[in-house]
């Protein structure tokens, strides 16, 4: 099992240290097979969090209703009449 340390602000460090220590003690008191299961569960949670952080790819039709086209959209523009 890998343990990762996080740098917390000074005012939270003492409380977090004690909480982390208690959590570590609880984990270490588990039988080896349950620790392995816990590690696998934590890895799956981490992967899930990483997937949620990734930007979602737009899918066809996801912008429907956002843009409104005017009825005369494909009519020639007044500004270009002299070039036609």
Taking only the tens place, the pLDDT of each residue in 4-52 is 555 656 666 678 888 888 999 999 999 999 999 999 999 999 999 888 8
The domain locations on the chain are: 1-55
pLDDT of residue 84: 73
pLDDT of residue 40: 96
Distance CA 57, CA 54 (A): 9
- For residue 3, pLDDT over 60 is answered with no
Which strand (E) or helix (H) includes residue 50?
Answer: helix 32-53
Q: Which residues have a Cβ under 8 Å from the Cβ of 76 and sit 6 or more positions away? A: 84
pLDDT of residue 61: 83
Look up the pTM and report it. 0.47
Residues 36 and 15: beta-carbon distance below 8 Å: no
Q: Nearest to residue 27, comparing CAs of 15, 41, 13?
A: 41
**Residue 59: both structure tokens together:** 């899918």
């Amino acid at each position: 099992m890998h343990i990762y340390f996080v740098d917390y602000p000074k005012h939270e460090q003492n409380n977090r240290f004690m909480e982390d220590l208690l959590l570590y003690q609880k984990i270490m008191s588990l039988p080896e097979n349950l620790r392995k299961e816990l590690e696998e569960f934590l890895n799956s949670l981490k992967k899930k969090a990483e997937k949620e952080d990734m930007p979602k790819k737009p899918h066809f039709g996801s912008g429907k209703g956002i843009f409104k086209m005017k009825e005369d959209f494909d009519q020639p523009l007044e500004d270009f009449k002299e070039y036609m």
